[in-house]
Amino acid sequence: MRPLSFAVAALAVIALVVGQQIGNAGTIGMGVIGLLLAFVTFRAPSLAFFLRIFCAVFGIEYVLFGGAALLGQTGLWPTDTGIPAFPTSLPTTVGVFSILVYAISFVPVIAKIARLASPYFESQQTTTANLWPIGPFQIRLGTLAVALFVFLIVLNQVQVGITLRLSFFNRDMYDALQNKDAAAFWYQLFWVFCIWAGIWVVSNLIEMFANYTLLIRWRRFMAEEYNARWLGRGTHYRIALAGTVDNPDQRIAEDTRSFVNSTYGFALPLLTQISTLVSFSIILWNINVAFNLPGTNIAIPGYIFWVAFLYAAAATWLTHLIGRPLIGLEFEQERREANFRFSLARLREYSEQIALMSGERTERVHLSQRFGEIVENFYRLVWRRLKLTTFTLSYNQVSVVLPYMILAPYYFAGTITLGVMMQVAGAFDRVQTALSFIINSYSSIASYLASIARLTSFEHEIEKARDDAADATMRRERIGESEISLSETVLELPNGQPIVRIGELDLGKARSTLVVGPSGSGKSTMFRAIAGIWPFGSGKVGIQADAEIMLLPQRPYLPQGSLRAALAYPAEAEAYGEAEIREAMEKVRLGHLADRLDEVDLWGQRLSGGEQQRLAVARALLAKPDWLFLDEATASLDEKLEVEIYDAISRELPDTRIVSIGHRSALRGMHEAIVTMEPNDDGTFTPRETSKAAAEA
């Protein structure tokens, strides 16, 4: 960016010198804008990468278009090419664009958008692109993203140029009709319109393909990035415990899609509208229509332009006043819709329990209440949108006839031709449409801002969960062999209330240890602290160096997919051989399912609670961890089967240390040591080692 800023500054100085020599105000203006652009380009590295792309494109265009314009001003432009020299307004326009980008970078919402968008364009990942006629090739994802985005920016500007050229076709065709010049009419129709319209169609098809390619890759990147950050280091669990983020699934699935589509859908169309505004404003400004201030001889330059500008500016301000409440309403609607979807998903997950308890009536009431909340906010949205739509429809209808009302007296007086009138009416429509971009997009902008707010708050909570984990006073440290210990540890509930106090506890003294105690005494919480996912509390958890730890909860998680994938989890489905899996299933009494390994089903609903727990034990037999923690992981089994499963664990995992939570007396005879959660005077519990004989007595 720095070399580009020097090139812009050099061209700006040359433009000022040439403008002074030939006395051309447009060239001098180009030089002044160029100096400002040079400063902006020099400062561009401080901007978010997404905004830097725009600054770089506009800086390069200023140098190219400005150099061509100076050649035309000095008479050095090669006229034999048939291509007219570039006007100085073109580099001036792109310079203004870049300055505007720098100025709006300080607007908080623009800064948020740029921060959310930039990681994709800076990505160092390698991806495969397929470009005809080159074929597949490897490229850095960020490089491909920038190339596609820059291509689309330039293509949009080319389309504005084509539209501008067609406006002159419109003028010349109507003049030919007015003059009854058949030759000129057919020439304009076939040799001007058909060629440029064909180019415009082809450019739109190319834009569509490049657009879809950019959007789907961008969305995939954002979804994977948020998934990685949300699932990394137990962040999803800490966020769920804190309860500060509703429906993270919706934020990843829906809000990333909305953000990507809306960012592109506003960035490039807005750029197109600004290009259209500048280009067609020049036409309006240069129309020779005299208008004096009432009661004076003072002429207003660019009268038609100022009418369009003030008309659209006043309408934009009124639109903002009417539509501002939509932003909060859109945010609330998305939240209520997500809550309703979550309730439906939860009902499907617990359908068996609900059916067994005949809870359908209660569930219908709850779902009706959830949907009632949606309807209540929806009517608020409808009422606000009705107000906004009433205004925007009225505004757009008046816009159709306003330019003709202004220009008709000049046409009937013979001041302007029919072609000029039609060109000016078209240019007026283009200018007011460009100025009305916010008016016509206000509902979409409100939804866009709601998505930005949801993603920003989601990112904030992810970072907060990570920071809390990093700042936590509870530490996990790698220590000596065959040992897991807790020392000077206090475990707390999310509200800060202490539940477990541990002075010193070594779980490595016996090969198998049973933890017993009343419900609510913190047994499972202690297991979570050892696993490193419980963030509330202080102290030190010492973990055997390089130990592989597996914790089986009372209710196992069965991922979507095949039974083989469920058995191999958290490894991939192909991690274990066919014989290994079948042998493990036989040892946990699941042999009757061995022929259904590759069957895809909702196994969490198809298998009974006891089958699910035995499946989880089969995972442990396959993984062979150094430490196996069972948090009432066999509670759904009858005592005889429970004994058989523990015998299988002990026999098949001779090098694994086992720590269990359980209440059945039969478990005591299957463990070498007992740890009892004993109550303290302050309502907390402390785990203390108890001899097995004393425990049995």
Is the confidence at residue 528, as pLDDT, over 90? Answer: no
Q: What is the pLDDT of residue 697?
A: 40
Is the confidence at residue 47, as pLDDT, over 80? Answer: yes
Residues 352-405: tens digit of each pLDDT: 677 767 778 888 888 888 888 889 888 888 888 888 888 878 877 777 777 778
Q: What is the pLDDT of residue 471?
A: 59
Stretch 145-155: mean pLDDT = 87
Q: What is the pLDDT of residue 438?
A: 60
| HSE, side-chain direction, 13 A CA sphere, residue 602 | 6
Q: What is the pLDDT of residue 621?
A: 94
For residues 508 and 485, the answer to whether their CB atoms sit within 8 Å is yes
Stretch 537-550: mean pLDDT = 83
DSSP string, 188-203: IIIIIIHHHHHHHHHH
* pLDDT above 90: percentage of residues in the chain: 17
Query: What structural domains does the chain harbor?
Result: 107-466 (1.20.1560.10), 474-696 (3.40.50.300)
Q: What is the pLDDT of residue 101?
A: 84
3-state secondary structure of 657: strand
DSSP string, 420-473: HHHHHHHHHHHHHHHHTHHHHTHHHHHHHHHHHHHHHHHHHHHHHHHHHHHH-E
Higher-pLDDT residue of 296, 429:
429
Q: What is the pLDDT of residue 282?
A: 63
What is the rounded distance in angstroms from the CA atom of residue 235 to the CA atom of residue 525? 17
| Alpha carbon separation from 333 to 57, 201, 580, 624 (Å, rounded) | 38, 38, 50, 48
Identify the band that residue 695 occupies on the pLDDT scale cut at 50, 70 and 90: very low
Is the confidence at residue 597, as pLDDT, over 50? Answer: yes
For residues 568 and 576, the answer to whether their CB atoms sit within 8 Å is yes
What is the rounded distance in angstroms from the CA atom of residue 48 to the CA atom of residue 111? 8
Stretch 76-99: mean pLDDT = 74
| Alpha carbon separation from 550 to 149, 543, 589, 649, 667 (Å, rounded) | 46, 13, 21, 13, 19
Higher-pLDDT residue of 482, 453:
453
Q: What is the pLDDT of residue 611?
A: 92
What is the rounded distance in angstroms from the CA atom of residue 436 to the CA atom of residue 395? 10
Closest CA to 58 of 150, 121, 144: 150
Q: What is the pLDDT of residue 160?
A: 74
Identify the band that residue 435 occupies on the pLDDT scale cut at 50, 70 and 90: low
Higher-pLDDT residue of 315, 635:
635
Q: For 40-44, 56-60, 446-450, 607-611, which range has the lowest pLDDT when averaged over its residues?
A: 446-450
Identify the band that residue 475 occupies on the pLDDT scale cut at 50, 70 and 90: low
What is the rounded distance in angstroms from the CA atom of residue 530 to the CA atom of residue 629? 10
Buried b / exposed e along 642-679 (16+ C-beta atoms within 10 A): bbbbbebbeebbeebbbbbbbebeebeebbebbbbbee
Stretch 44-49: mean pLDDT = 90
Q: For 60-74, 436-450, 549-563, which range has the lowest pLDDT when averaged over its residues?
A: 436-450
Higher-pLDDT residue of 287, 334:
334
Q: What is the pLDDT of residue 583?
A: 93
Q: What is the pLDDT of residue 35?
A: 93
What is the rounded distance in angstroms from the CA atom of residue 453 to the CA atom of residue 461? 12
Residues 107-144: tens digit of each pLDDT: 888 888 888 889 999 999 888 888 777 888 888 999 99
Q: What is the pLDDT of residue 676?
A: 92
What is the rounded distance in angstroms from the CA atom of residue 377 to the CA atom of residue 124? 43
Stretch 451-471: mean pLDDT = 78
Q: What is the pLDDT of residue 480?
A: 61
Q: What is the pLDDT of residue 292?
A: 57
**Considering the entire predicted model, what is its pTM?**
0.67
Q: What is the pLDDT of residue 677?
A: 92
Is the confidence at residue 584, as pLDDT, over 90? Answer: yes
Q: What is the pLDDT of residue 440?
A: 59
Closest CA to 541 of 531, 550, 555: 531
* pLDDT above 70: percentage of residues in the chain: 87
Q: What is the pLDDT of residue 694?
A: 45
Is the confidence at residue 270, as pLDDT, over 90? Answer: no
Q: What is the pLDDT of residue 696?
A: 47
Report the chain's mean pLDDT, rounded to a whole number: 82
Closest CA to 266 of 442, 391, 148, 453: 442
Q: Which residue has the tokens 């069972």?
A: 630
Q: Which residue has the tokens 């009536």?
A: 361
Closest CA to 272 of 324, 199, 200: 200
Closest CA to 697 of 654, 671, 675, 665: 665
| Alpha carbon separation from 19 to 5, 30, 32, 369, 389 (Å, rounded) | 21, 9, 11, 71, 48
